[in-house]
């Protein structure tokens, strides 16, 4: 890697650290290439990304960002998982770490808040933004549905009474 490529990578990583809402750092030593590809695919499905970068370059890119607290985690073979959704990256990494012991979560950051491995796992148990939006929509629609049921109930009762009289008269 020449100097220009390194500068480009540092600028790219700096943009990632500045724009994303959550970053998770993990050791991947012992994972096969197929397993890493599987992790990348799962991350893409969840709307997150994973990247392996040189620790020195990542530390340089962290300077001046909100997630600079994860610089101390950049030792050994590390990968960086990140997403705009605060739950997507931790959820996928935590699930993958349960499946494959070789992936060890070191910690992460959400905005200016540093996360230890337990914090990342706790964040992974929270519902995603899409799930929360669906719950809110369900809560908003529920009263309208109940009002419609209450409004149509007297008419339905009246129809049943007329139906019962019609059946009695026919018999």
* Span 78-88, pLDDT tens digits: 999 999 888 88
Question: Which residues 6+ apart lie within 8 Å of 20 measured at CB?
Answer: 82, 83, 84
pLDDT of residue 67: 87
pLDDT of residue 38: 94
- CATH code for the part of the protein at 3-126: 3.30.70.1730
Domain regions of the chain by residue span: 3-126, 127-171
Tell which residue, 77, 78, 81, 86, has the closest CA to residue 16: 81
Identify whether the C-beta of residue 109 lies closer than 8 Å to the C-beta of residue 67: yes
* pTM score: 0.72
pLDDT of residue 53: 85
Low-confidence ranges of the chain (pLDDT < 50): none
pLDDT of residue 139: 78
């Amino acid at each position: 890697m020449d100097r220009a490529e390194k500068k480009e990578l540092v600028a790219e990583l700096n943009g990632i650290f500045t724009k994303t809402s959550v970053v998770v750092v993990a050791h991947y030593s012992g994972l096969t290439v197929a397993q890493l590809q599987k992790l990348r695919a799962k991350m893409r499905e969840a709307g997150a990304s994973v990247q392996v970068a040189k620790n020195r370059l990542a530390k340089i890119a962290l300077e001046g960002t909100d997630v600079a607290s994860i610089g101390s985690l950049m030792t050994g073979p590390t990968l960086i998982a990140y997403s705009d959704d605060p739950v997507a990256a931790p959820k996928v990494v935590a699930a993958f770490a349960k499946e494959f012991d070789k992936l060890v979560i070191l910690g992460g950051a959400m905005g200016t808040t540093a996360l230890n491995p337990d914090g990342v796992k706790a964040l992974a148990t929270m519902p995603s933004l899409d799930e929360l939006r669906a719950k809110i929509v369900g809560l908003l629609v529920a009263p309208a549905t109940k009002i419609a049921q209450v409004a149509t109930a007297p008419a339905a009762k009246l129809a049943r009474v007329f139906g019962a009289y019609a059946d009695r008269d026919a018999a």
